[in-house]
Amino acid sequence: MSKYVIEGSNKLSGEITVRGAKNSVLPILAASILNNNINIIFNIPEISDLKVMVKILKAIGCKVNAVDNIVTVDSRNLDKVRIPEELVREMRSSIILMGAMLSRCGEVEVSYPGGCEIGVRPIDFHLKALKELGAEIEESHGFIYCKGKSLKGADIQLDYPSVGATENIMLASIRAQGTTIIRNAAREPEIIDLQNFLNSIGGRIYGAGTSIIRIDGVNNLNSVEHTIIPDRIVAGTYMVASAITKGEIILKNIQVDHIQSIIAKLRETGCSIYNNCTTLKIIGPRIINPIESLQTLPYPGFPTDMQAQIMALLTLSSGTSVISETIFENRFKHVPELVRMGANIRTLGNVAVIKGVKQLTGAKVTAKDLRGGASLLLAGLAAEGATIIDNISHIDRGYERLEENLKSIGANIRRIK
């Protein structure tokens, strides 16, 4: 297993270009099987989750070619309906293949998904919605068997604005007979990106970015070229890197509208932020202000995927901060590791109280999940001495060439076996 070794206390300064969004490319790659045709997708991030999805697509018969952040998927020869169990268990996002496979093949067999263990993320919303579209679902011995040769449009009310469930419904209903309405739909930018992709291949979908999405079923789908939106969580992570090192970083290829909640909270800590639509400059504060109250919420609220990173920043604030995690109940796994580095954090249920300290100290720590691992890296950038982070395969799931980018702006970081 690879590790990161970080010598901290270096001020970061320079420019970084942000690649495509992990949480957008995975559902769009799943959608590439729908059109029985060729899909050319640009701005693809080089991350390990992408490699898993490519393996899945190849395993079910697709031809996939990845070169220089461009992936071409030819789904004309798709000939299998069973998703390999070992690949599904590597990546939770693989569950969105259910909707696409039902739409394309009328059936699918998939095991329960894996991924980061950040809490209970039931797929009940997905299964309930697919049943409402007419799918027959059987669960047995850790596998899910779905059949639905002639799905029909339905009016679906989600109990919670689940991103994955919203995506699965969109994928399943694009060819369904009649109209499907999703109420209380997720509003994330990645949902809009998926809608744009699906409409480009011939879908008739309206309302992404609002709480009500309408899908009018179609019969024919065509080939497409599509560019993935920038990754707002990667952008936010680099913004925190600038803040925690008192640095000065320019981010290129971003969509500022997608990161407004992150910008607002970093300004609260004292950061100076200047931006236009696609470029942002962030200057870290001399003194980091605490945040009296931060609550993670579905978009456009503050993203749960940025909670760990901003907690790392607040460990060095000049006062006491309070973070409430409302999305996942087990997303404080990074806290004991930050404490090993000298942080003063106490948790009770879904609330963390962070009392700022003057200095973090390098230590040997372990990444327990993707975003928690990123928070340890950020803490290491600011800490005194060497930080060694084990199990960085978690971090590789969501960040492209992370150590190379950080080195280019002044970080002392290296990867070792």
The DSSP letter of residue 362 is -
What's the first-to-final CA gap in the chain, in angstroms?
6
Question: What's the angle, vertex CA 370, arms to CA 278 and CA 59, rounded to 5?
Answer: 95
CA dihedral 390, 395, 399, 404 (to 10 degrees): 0
What ranges make up the beta strands (E) of 43-186? 63-67, 70-74, 107-111, 136-140, 143-147, 155-157, 179-183
Confirm or deny that 327 is annotated as ligand binding.
Answer: yes
Confirm or deny that 152 is annotated as ligand binding.
Answer: no
- Dihedral pair phi/psi, residue 375, rounded to 5°: -65, -35
Would you say 24 and 47 are in contact if contact means Cβ atoms under 8 Å apart?
no
Confirm or deny that 249 is annotated as ligand binding.
Answer: no
Closest CA to 404 of 13, 16, 9, 106: 16
- Dihedral pair phi/psi, residue 267, rounded to 5°: -65, -35
At which residue do the structure tokens 């490319």 appear?
A: 25
Burial, 121: exposed, middle or buried (Cβ in 10 Å; 0-12, 13-18, 19+)?
Answer: middle
Would you say 161 and 186 are in contact if contact means Cβ atoms under 8 Å apart?
yes
Q: How many CB atoms lie within 10 A of CB 70?
A: 14
SS3 258: helix
Confirm or deny that 390 is annotated as ligand binding.
Answer: no
Q: Distance of CA 361 to CAs 28, 154, 212, 315, 380, Å?
A: 41, 56, 48, 12, 8
Question: Which positions are annotated as active-site residues?
Answer: 116
Question: What phi-psi label fits residue 241: left (phi over 0), alpha (psi between -120 and 50 degrees) or beta?
Answer: alpha
- If residue 80 lies in a helix (H) or strand (E), which one and from where to where? none
Confirm or deny that 16 is annotated as ligand binding.
Answer: no
Q: Fill in the amino acid letter for 112.
A: Y
SS3 329: coil
Q: Which residue ranges make up the annotated binding site for phosphoenolpyruvate?
A: 22-23
Annotated binding site for UDP-N-acetyl-alpha-D-glucosamine: 92, 305, 327
Annotated binding site: 22-23, 92, 305, 327
